[in-house]
Structure 1
Amino acid sequence: MNIFSQAAQLEQQNIPFALTNIIDTKGSAPRHSGQMIVKADGSIIGTVGGGMIERYVIEQAIEALQERKPRVVKGRMTRSGPEAMGMDCGGAMTVFIDVFGLRPALLLIGAGHVNRAVAHAAHVLGFDITVADAYEESLSEEHFPEGTKRVLGKTMDDAIDQLTIDKNSFVVIATNHQDQDAITKVVGCDTQYIGLMASRRKVQTLFTHLRKSSVSEAHIQAIHSPIGFNIGAETPDEIAISIMAEVLKVQHQSAGGLMKDDTRVNRHKLVLIRGAGDIATGVAVRLHNSGFKVVMTDIAQPTVIRCTVSFAQCLYGDPVEVEGITAQKARSCEEVFTVLEQGNIPVMVDQECCSLNNLKPTFVVDAILAKRNLGTTKDMAPVTVALGPGFNAGVDCDAVIETNRGHYLGRVIYHGETQANTGIPGNIAGYTHQRVLRAPCNGIMHNHVSLGDIVEEGDVIAHVADSPVVSPLSGMVRGLLNEGLTVTEGFKIGDIDPRGIEADFTTVSDKARAIGGSVLEAMLHLEQTTLS
């Protein structure tokens, strides 16, 4: 049997393997043409020349299988230099590695009418299908597409025990009366997907049983049940389409939904927020929870002090979560749409709003809160809203929101300006400017405490250059700039909340929440009056 026949056999059995093929050689290469199969355990069929170069190709092939992606590798039969293999032949070789036998595994527990229809729908989609049941007649060969593996157990538990369930598996449970046994057996497995066909009432009963069985809430919430998309499916074939649509959604890590609602196509819900500090984040949370697609922009190193409730923090590295909503850095407009598809909020480094022409949002919200207009104009989008002083509604934006604490906080102004900047921080427990920390000189910020720490009056909070920053009162550190930022004398670098342990530094503030509600009101009003 030649190597290609063996590759075809492995592919038919869905056994993972890499097929390596010499595509270029120079000089004294051990071989100038040849193929080699590399299995996941490192065993091989064929050769690409032996020695160090072959060992390197095997290592690369195993990595390619783990990543499930093809690659090209190069090796030079020299002792030193780029791509050196520690050999004296002096030649060079380029090998293409492709991966096969990686069809996604679909495990159907229950061989009734629905899972038979699911098997036929999944077959044309390239899934490797295994069906398990305890009733031999249900597993008759004529019920399933060619190549389906059929597993018969003395009981449903016994049938499930014969399955190989791993992190790449998709599991669909659709049984007549053994769903409780099946889900109890499978719920703790590390899988791509577990779907359970059951009515809403049955789901509640089964989930209650799982909780009483000490199954973690995380595992329970990962179960897709009731299963599938709500498309009004009634027949087994219709239900199968609904189920496989959900399986594909999970497989491709897609947001799902109607194509016409894709943000790339229809941008009527797309909002660009300038700024990603704590107030802007409060606005973003309100809009995101109301069904809008939110994109945020800021400078490369945002000087936010309420880091735990500022989506701008993700620009320093890892994604940030605020009140269950995740924001992550996007490096391009294409990445913006990818992040939106994942149900998250993308944040871009884009101080000048250069991405505006590509994104074409319906709404722009200026939430920089610089107390002056840093370039927002009314023609940036069909609807523009700005926060705080520095904007004239009807001139440089469609609406401006009052941000000054007091009776008018959150007021939406459609003609005119907000109250002038007072320069006095909000009053908390009788303290205003006293609770604000400012840089004593120019220099680099070095922190000695963390957000949420309780400090006493006189404690050293940070150093700017060699000058200490001392807490002016006792309370909780609710705001603090990021470590290592360069600041100028007088710059706001933190604040102390005199309420101490009663303060909350992990959720959106009352002010940000109120302003977010006002932005939503203005957008909905302007959508009706301006866009209709």
Structure 2
Amino acid sequence: MNIFAQAALLEQQNTPFAFANIIETRGSAPRHSGQMLIKADGTITGTVGGGMIERYVIEQSLEALQERKSRVVKGRMTRTGPEAMGMDCGGAMTVSIDVYGLRPALLLIGGGHVNRAVAHAAHVLGFDISVADAYEDSLAEEHFPAGTKRILGKTMDDAIDQLDINKESFVVIATNHQDQDAITKVVGCDTRYIGLMASRRKVQTLFNHLRKSNVSEAHIQAIHSPIGFNIGAETPEEIAISIMAEVLKVKHQSSGGLMKDDTRLNRNKLVLVRGAGDIATGVAIRLHNAGFKVVMTDIAQPTVIRCTVAFAQCLYGDPVEVEGVMARKAHSCEDVFAAIEQGLIPVMADEECSSLASLAPTFLVDAILAKRNLGTTQDMAPVTIALGPGFNAGVDCDAVIETNRGHHLGRIIYRGETQPNTGIPGNIAGYTHQRVLRAPCPGIMHNHVKLGDIVEEGDVIAHVGDSQVVAPLNGMVRGLLNDGLSVTEGFKIGDIDPRGIDADYTTVSDKARAIGGSVLEAMLYLEQTTLN
């Protein structure tokens, strides 16, 4: 069997392989044309020239299979220099590596009318389809598209056991009377998607059964049921379209919204929040949960002390989750829109707000909380809202929100200013400025405790340079700058919550919730009065 016939057979079987093809050579390359087939276990058919260049192509092919993405690689047959292969030929070679046999696996449990329609819809979408049932008549060949693997079991459990369920699988359960057995069998599996066809009432019954069977709530909530999009589907064919739309949404990690609501095309719900500290994060979460599309900006190395509840932490590398809302770092405006499509909040390092023109948000919220205006103007967006002192509503912005704790916290001002900065931190259990930690001198922060630790008065919290920072009172470390940051003398580097174990450093504060609610109200009001 020649290499092309073998490739065709592997593709038909949906067996993963890479196909390497020489597309360009220069000088004394070992070969000027050639193809090589590389399976996932490293075995090969054919050659692209042997030696180090071939070994490199095999390594790159295996990486491409792992990433499920094709690539082009280059190698120079020299011992030194860029792309050197440790060879003496002196030529160069460019090889394309394409990956095949990676059709996503759709596993249908139940061979009834709906899953038959799902199979036909999925076939044209390029899925590798298997259907399992305990009734032979349900698996008749004429019910399914060509290439469908039909698996018959003595029982439904037996049929499911014969399926290759793995982390790349999409599973759809649509049975007549065996859905409880099927979902119980599958719910703990690591998959891309589990969908269960059931009425809302039956979903509750099945979920309660799973809870009584000690299935974790996380596994239960991962089940897509009732299955599919609500498009008023009634016939099996319509239901299949609804189901496959949801499967594709998960496969492509898309938001699943209407195309006309794509944030790239329609910025009506796009909000740019300047600042990504704890108060800004509370605002962002409230707006996100209310259906707005939120992007945040901050300095490249944010100096936030409530790190566990500040999306600014994204800018140090890892995604951050606060109260079930996930944020990640974005490097470009395209990254921003991609993150929004996935239901995430993107955070950009953009102190000067240079991305404003490209993003063109309808709403802008200045949540830097610098106690002064660092450059926000009313014309930066159709609706501009600012938080705290330093802004004059009607001049700098359309509305300003009171941030001072007390009776007026969260008050929306459409003309005028908030209360002036008092310089006194909010009162918690009778403590104000006493609970705040400040740098005793300029230097680099080195922490000795972490957020959430319970400390006693006099405990060493951190060093700034060679100077100790000690706890001024008993309580919980509720705020602390990131280790390794450079600070100036007197800079706020942390705080101690005197409530101790009763304090909560993992959720949005009451202050942030109040301000977030006011921002949402102001946006909705200004949307009606200013934009309409």
TM-score normalised by structure 2 residue count: 0.96
The equivalent residue for 1:399 is: 399
250-259 or 59-68, which deviates more? 59-68
Aligned to 1:290: 290
Partner in structure 1 of residue 522 of structure 2: 522
Partner of 2:251: 251
How far, CA to CA, are the matches of 1:290 and 1:198 in structure 2? 28
Q: Which stretch shows the higher mean deviation, 244-253 or 131-140?
A: 131-140
1:190 counterpart residue number: 190
Contiguous gaps of at least 5 residues in structure 2:
none
Q: Equivalences for 1:489-528 in 2 at 5 Å?
A: 489-528=489-528
Equivalent position of 2:19 in the other structure: 19
Which SS does the other structure have where 2:268 is aligned?
coil
Aligned to 1:221: 221
Q: 1:86-120 CA deviation, whole Å, 9 max, x = no partner? A: 44444433221111111111111111111111111
The residue correspondences of 1:158-307 to structure 2 (distance < 5 A) are: 158-307=158-307
State whether structure 2 residue 373 is matched by structure 1 residue 373: yes
Alpha-carbon distance in structure 2 between the residues aligned to 1:466 and 1:78: 52
Cα displacement string for residues 10-42 of structure 1 (whole angstroms, at most 9, x for unaligned residues): 212222111111222334433221112111122
Query: Is 1:107 the equivalent of 2:107?
Result: yes
**1:277, distance to aligned residue in structure 2 (A):** 1.1
SS in 2 for 1:125: coil
Residue of structure 2 equivalent to 1:437: 437
Closer/same/farther in 2, CA of residues 81 and 375 from structure 1, 3 Å limit: closer
- Aligned with 1:130: secondary structure? strand
After superposition, what is the alpha-carbon deviation per residue over 1:407-448, rounded to whole angstroms, capped at 9, x for unaligned? 211111111111111111111222211221111111112112
1:49 aligned partner = 49
For residue 370 of structure 1, what is the amino acid of its counterpart? A
String of CA shifts for 1:160-209, please: whole Å, max 9, x gaps.
22222222211111111121222222222222111111111221222222
1:219-259 alpha-carbon deviations (Å, 9 max, x no partner): 22221111111111000000000000011111101110111
Quick one: which amino acid aligns to residue 194 of structure 1? I
Unaligned runs of 5+ in 1: none
Q: Distance in 1 between matches of 2:137 and 2:34?
A: 48
For the residue of structure 1 that corresponds to 2:506, the secondary structure is: coil
> How far is 1:470 from its partner?
2.1
1:49-97 CA-to-partner distances (Å, cap 9, x unmatched) read 3333333322222221121111222334444444444444444332211
The aligned amino acid for 1:490 is G
CA distance in 2, matches of 1:163, 1:489: 64
- Structure 2 match to 1:329: 329
- Whole-Å separation in 2 of the counterparts to 1:478 and 1:270: 32
Q: Which moved more, 1:39-48 or 1:290-299?
A: 39-48
Q: Give secondary structure in 2 for the equivalent of 1:421.
A: coil
1:399 and 1:464 mapped to 2: Cα distance? Answer: 39
Which residue identity is paired with 1:477?
Answer: V
Indicate the SS of the match to 2:8. Answer: helix
Residue 61 in 1 paired to residue 54 in 2?
Answer: no
Describe the superposition over 1:483-520 as per-residue Cα deviations: whole angstroms up to 9, x where unpaired.
Answer: 11111111111112222222221111111111111111
Taking structure 1 as reference, are residues 214 and 428 closer, same or farther at Cα in structure 2, changes over 3 Å only? Answer: closer
Partner SS for 2:525:
helix
- What's the secondary structure of 1:373's corresponding residue? coil
* CA distance in structure 2 between the partners assigned to 1:416 and 1:389 by the alignment: 11
Deviation at 1:398, TM superposition (A): 0.9
In the alignment, the residues of structure 1 paired with residue 285 and residue 298 of structure 2 have an alpha-carbon distance, to the nearest angstrom, of 17
Q: Which letter does structure 2 place at the counterpart of 1:478?
A: R
Inter-partner Cα distance in structure 1 for 2:8 and 2:432: 75
Distance 1:364 1:80 in 2: 53
TM-score by length of 1: 0.96
In the alignment, the residues of structure 2 paired with residue 450 and residue 35 of structure 1 have an alpha-carbon distance, to the nearest angstrom, of: 56
* Distance (whole Å) between structure 1 residues aligned to residue 46 and residue 10 of structure 2: 14
State the distance in 2 between where 1:511 and 1:474 align.
23
Secondary structure at 1:97's aligned position in 2? strand
- Taking the aligned partners of 1:55 and 1:444, their CA distance within structure 2 comes to 47
CA distances 1:447-493 after superposition (whole Å, capped 9, x unpaired): 12211222222222222111222222222221111111111111111
Alignment of 1:25-40 (within 5 A): 25-40=25-40
Alignment of 1:134-173 (within 5 A): 134-173=134-173
Q: Tell me the amino acid that sits aligned with residue 449 of structure 1.
A: V
**Aligned letter for 2:479?**
G
Give 1:146 deviation, angstroms.
1.7
Distance in 1 (CA, whole Å) between partners of 2:330 and 2:394 is 32
For residues 357 and 88 of structure 1, the distance between their equivalents in structure 2, rounded to whole angstroms, comes to 53
Per the TM alignment, residue 6 of structure 1 is displaced from its structure 2 partner at its CA by: 2.2
Could you say what secondary structure the match of 1:271 adopts?
strand
- What is the alpha-carbon distance in structure 1 between the residues aligned to residue 486 and residue 51 of structure 2? 55
Match of 2:343 in 1: 343
One-letter code of the match for 1:13?
Q
Quote the Cα distance in structure 2 between the aligned partners of 1:352 and 1:142.
63
1:133-161: CA deviation from partner (whole Å, max 9, x where unpaired): 22222222211112222222222222222
Partner Cα separation in structure 1 for residue 100 and residue 45 of structure 2 = 14
Deviates more, 1:235-244 or 1:514-523: 514-523
Q: How many residues align?
A: 532
Query: Percent of aligned pairs with the same residue?
Result: 86
Moved more, 7-16 or 266-275: 7-16
CA distance in 2, matches of 1:442, 1:92: 55
Separation (CA, whole Å) in 2 of partners of 1:394 and 1:191: 53
Q: Distance in 2 between matches of 1:405 and 1:211?
A: 43
Give the distance between the partners of 1:361 and 1:27, measured in 2 at CA.
Answer: 54
The one-letter code sitting in structure 1 at the alignment partner of 2:219 is: H
Task: Measure, in 1, the Cα distance between the counterparts of 2:303 and 2:79.
Answer: 51
Q: Distance in 1 between matches of 2:173 and 2:242?
A: 14
Aligned partners of 2:179, 2:302: CA distance in 1, in Å? 52
Mapped to 1, the partners of 2:44 and 2:150 lie a distance apart of 29
CA 1:442–1:37: 2 relative to 1, 3 Å: same
SS state of the match for residue 195, structure 2?
Answer: strand
Q: Which moved more, 1:20-29 or 1:279-288?
A: 20-29
Equivalent position amino acid for 2:367 in 1: A
Q: One-letter code of the match for 2:167?
A: K
1:44 Cα deviation after fit: 1.9
